[in-house]
Structures are given as structure tokens and as C-alpha cells.
A and B are shown apart, each in its own frame.
Chain A
Amino acid sequence: MNATEQIVAKARELLESGTVECVIGYERATDGVNARPLFVYQAEEAGKLIFDQTCAHNLAKYLLNRKGKATAIVAKPCDVRAVNLLINEHQVERDKVLIIGVVCPGMVETKWGRVSEKLRQACELCREHTPVVYDFLVGEPGDEEAAVEYPDVARMEALSIEERRAFWEEQFSRCIRCYACRQACPGCYCSECFAERLDPLWVGIRIAPSESWIWNTMRAFHLAGRCIGCNQCERVCPMNIPLSLLNRKLEKETLELFGYRAGVDAETPAPFATFRKDEKLEVGE
């Protein structure tokens, strides 16, 4: 059985037995070539489910809308780390989520109506093709995974501060503050985001470079040590802002300083949620 057939069979079984009320997976989009999220509530509808290299959406975000309700989710390795993040941060209960993990072939670059054969950058750099946790696995688990590398971040670090500033100024100047990055991000679930707070006012409502700069940097810092690298923010950004570069820089720093990667398990306390007396990180070193 291929991945799609296994997912359809599992979803049908879970819904028929009443183990879950809903299976969140993918179906074909209206352009005929891409995928879109699908919520299946009836076993008869499980046949619509698909899985292929266009299933780039991280469905973990949707678990936040189904708190306390038994839900199965089709999850790639990065999506599974998002589920772990949400469990670790007490947003989702492990026993309400049934993870249909998928051994991931990597997702490809797509546009509306077009699918390429080129892997997405995040997938090209990803070293984890088998989910770290699952209740049911689709596909054959691979060998030991290689260590994560950050060639994109290294290229950025090689530039001078002035060059980096100019680069980001130009990128952020395009931001239209739609907040699609936040809405797609599994780590952005605050009931009131700082961007909408009035008191204190963190950032004004202008859609202009000065405010966009604050918005994008603050959001990046809120994801430091929490971003699981699914790259949804960049995928959904209508202005093609390379947000993953910021997130991956912070991921790299967190890994180097604390030996921590978000979502690898659901228990290890996050560095920015803990304080240890023996930590003596000299500022600016």
C-alpha cells in the first residue's frame, strides 16, 4: 500500500471505531495539482485523503481549535515536532491526539496550478525523515539521521552588520503586516498577540518599514528556542520574505548555547522557560 492508501485505511478505521471524532489530513486542492488541509468527520469521506510531496502545510496548528476532542492528525516529521511543542507548552493533551506519522520524502516547491520537482529549501536542509514520535507510522523508518547544518545562516553571518541591516531593511519594507506568518505558525497561539496589544503598545498599526521591522524582529524572538522549523511562515508569506533565515539563526544559537532543539520530545523544558543558577552566559560573548 502506498502512503495515501495507508492513510485512508487508517482514517477509516479510526472513525468507524469511534477512536477519534476527526482526522486532519490533506486532499487535492481546486487547482488539481496542489494539496489543501482536510478535516474528515465521517468514515465515508476518508477516501478523499491524499499524501504526496505537495502536502506542505503543518496541520498541528489546527489541534489548537480542537482542544479536548479526540483527533487524529497526519503529520510529517516537522509537524510531529510541532505537536510535541504544543504538548510541552500545555496547549494540547497527548492522549487526545493520535499521530499518523509519515516518513517524509520532502515537500516540493509549488505555486498555484504548478508543481515543480525542486525540494523546498527547508526540506533540502532537513535531516529528519522519520517522525520522532507517532502512534501509527506510514512508510519505512530510515537510518540514523545526520546532524543539522545551517549553510544559509552561515552565509548570512559572513556578511557585515551593515550589509545584514540593509538586507533586512529591504526585505521588511515589503511586509504588509497581514500576519499570515503568525496565523500559520504552530508556536504563535497567544490569545492576544503583542502586535494587537494596546496597553502597553508594543508596535503601532502603520504598515510601514519602521513598524514592520519591530513586528518581524519581535515575532522572531518569541519563537527563539520554540520554532520547530516547519517553515510555514515563509510558505504563506505573500510578500516572499525569507523569514526562515531569522528563525534558523535563533534555532542555531539555541542549539549551540543550550544543546536544545524544540519539539524533539514533549518533556524537556525549553531554555527560555527555565532558569538554572549554574548558567553563566556572558552577555555579548
Chain B
Amino acid sequence: MSDYISRADLLSWLEKVSQSRDLVAPVKIEDLTLFQKVERVEDIVFDPGNTDLSPKEFFFPKSEVLFYVDRSDGRVELVPAEVEQETVIFGIRPCDAKGIAVLDLPYLEEPADALYRQHREKTTLVGLSCVSACPECFCTSMGTTPDDASNVDIMLTEVEEGFIVQVVTEKGKALLPEGLLSSKEVSPPAAPSVASVPSEGIAEKMHQVFDSPYWDRLADRCLHCNVCSYVCPTCYCFDVRDLRSGGRVERVRSWESCQSPGFTKIAGGYDPRAAKGPRLRQRFAHKLLYFVEKFGVTHCVGCGRCVRSCPVNIDIREVIQDVQGLGVKSEA
């Protein structure tokens, strides 16, 4: 027996949820599918396939005020920004949920990022298993699976006319009213098969090929356009600036990317990573080597977004494969 909810009951529950909290779910905006605050639950997209941007922006917004500087009576006061709103993210896929668990590592490590922690505490994740896999996904090679429930609060798996419900955490339990779920004799569909990538031992190989001319050749075609970082659920770099706004000053942070010109420029104008090869290598070295060394997991969850969105087809699956090959050659 499984806990079960019909599609109609799910929608009316979500409707109720949206009255007391921000309900965020995939919706169609022109040709794109994006996680957005839902106005009408009928707009929610249940289709398989990953959204064009990841839901990371609900924890790490594109732009966010960190604190305000107020002046009055000749005194200066720093007023920290606070996250007030409770949010429920519905329809998050296992790769993106794992992406948030990956973001937790740098952002919740003490001293934790105050705003990130508040977003995290005030948000409940309702996941949706993938019943089919996109051709560009490779989650099973990156430490998660299409039905992985370990990084959400509630997990749903679509079966005929409804969903099997797994209540994973206390936070998830608190969101569900008594009596909403019924028991039903249904078994979950088999998880889809996902293309695999030779990620075994990749950090060690990355270390060995750090100085390979491979990176310069790969970077020949890179536009350093930031698209890969901005669509990625795990990229977490930002820039900070003080901006005047009305009568006060705001310290703002906005998404930034290691691919952008001047990302590593330092006082005096020197840029240690100005050349194309080292700049592009940074993306892969961070994901497959440095992050693994520091936190023990890859900084990629295999969602396939960068594979799909890079305008010149720099494909991390191919890079992993190539790097494994290079390592073998250099040993011989």
C-alpha cells in the first residue's frame, strides 16, 4: 500500500497552500518553462523535462539586498535584510533538489550566509520524480537518481490519475493537512534509464590534466557568455556592490560567473585568469576537482542544462569523457 493523492485533490491542496504562502512551480512563459510564483494552479506544468532556469534563484536570487545603510541624526545604522515570506516550491526534480543540497555546503558552512539560511528555513520542497529522462541528463553518474527523495520534504511520483506520496521530513509532514492522503494499492513506475558518464575518479584525473593543452583547445570556441553558470543549479558565485537607492544605500549582490571578463581582475588591473583556456578550465576544475576536494561531492548534479543551453556545445559530459581519456594517455 502507498500513500496516494488524486490529481484533483493535489490541485485543490496547492490552491490552499498558495493562499498562505508563495507557491512556486514550473510555468510556461512564452517558449520557456520557468519556476515562478504561481497565480493559478492550472498554469503549473507537470510535463517531463527540466525548466530552462533552475530553482536556485529562490535561495540565491539573481539580485538581493544584503543590508541597508541608513543615516539619521548624524548616525549611521546597518539594517540587515530579512526573508519574511514562507515559500513552497512544487515540482522540483531530484537533480535540482540535490543542487540545493550542494548549495548548502558552501552557504550553510559556518559562518553561514544569513540570507541563504533564511530562504532555506522558510522554504518547503515538494518534489516530483522523473518518469522519463531527457537525453541530456546524466544524474545517475552524479550522485542522484530520477526518483531520489532524499533532498526534498515531500516526494510525489506520478501514477495513473494521481500521485504516490512519500512524506520525507517533519517540515513536509507539517505542510500536509490530516486526511488529505489515502492508501492505494499502486506501485511506482520503474525509474527511467539515464545516459551514463564516466565520472568515477574524475577529481584525480582533473588534477593530472590541469596543465594539458586540452583546455586551450576547448576554450577556442567558448564565448565566455555565462549562460552555463546562470542556468546551473549549483553555480553560486556573485558580485557585490553598494548602490544608492532613495535616501539609503543598499549593499546588493547579483549573480556572477567565472566566465565573465574581469571576474578575477584585481586592484591594479591584473587578471590571473584572463586567458581563455584557464578561464574555461576554472568552470570544470571547480565542479569536478576543487569542490570535490573541499566537500567530497561533485559540483554538478547532471541536470543537463548547460549541455542544452551552451550556444557552442561545450558539453560537460564530453569534457568528463575527454579528461578520462587524457589521464590514461599521460600515464602511458
Contact = CB atoms under 8 A, between A and B. Distances in A.
Interface of A: 29-31, 34, 36-39, 57, 61-62, 65, 112-113, 174, 176-180, 183-184, 192-193, 196, 204-208, 235-236, 238-240
Contacts of B313: 29-31, 34, 36
A16 B317 CA distance: 33
A113 B135 contact: yes
Interface residues of B, number: 40
A83 B29 CA distance: 36
Interface of A is mostly: loop
Contact of A179 (B52, B220, B221, B260): B260
A184 B312 CA distance: 10
B63 A238 contact: no
B311 interface: yes
B278 to A, nearest CB: 14
A176 B260 contact: no
A178 B135 contact: no
Contacts of A184: 223, 225, 311
Contact of B241 (A31, A205, A236, A239): A205
What are the 8 closest A-B residue pairs judged by CB atoms, nearest first?
Answer: A180-B225, A207-B62, A36-B313, A236-B311, A183-B225, A29-B313, A112-B308, A178-B226
Interface string B263-277: 000000000000010
Contacts of A37: 220-221, 312
A174 B29 contact: yes
Contacts of A177: 62, 254-255
B243 interface: yes
5 contacts: A30-B307, A174-B32, A179-B225, A238-B52, A238-B230
B131 interface: no
Nearest to A211: B63
Contacts of B32: 174, 239-240
Contact of A113 (B29, B31, B136, B223): B136
A193 B231 CA distance: 23
Given A29-B315, A205-B254, 17 more contacts: A37-B220, A39-B220, A39-B221, A57-B312, A62-B221, A65-B220, A180-B225, A180-B226, A184-B223, A196-B261, A204-B243, A206-B252, A208-B62, A208-B63, A236-B227, A238-B52, A239-B52
Given A183-B223, A238-B227, A30 B315 contact: yes
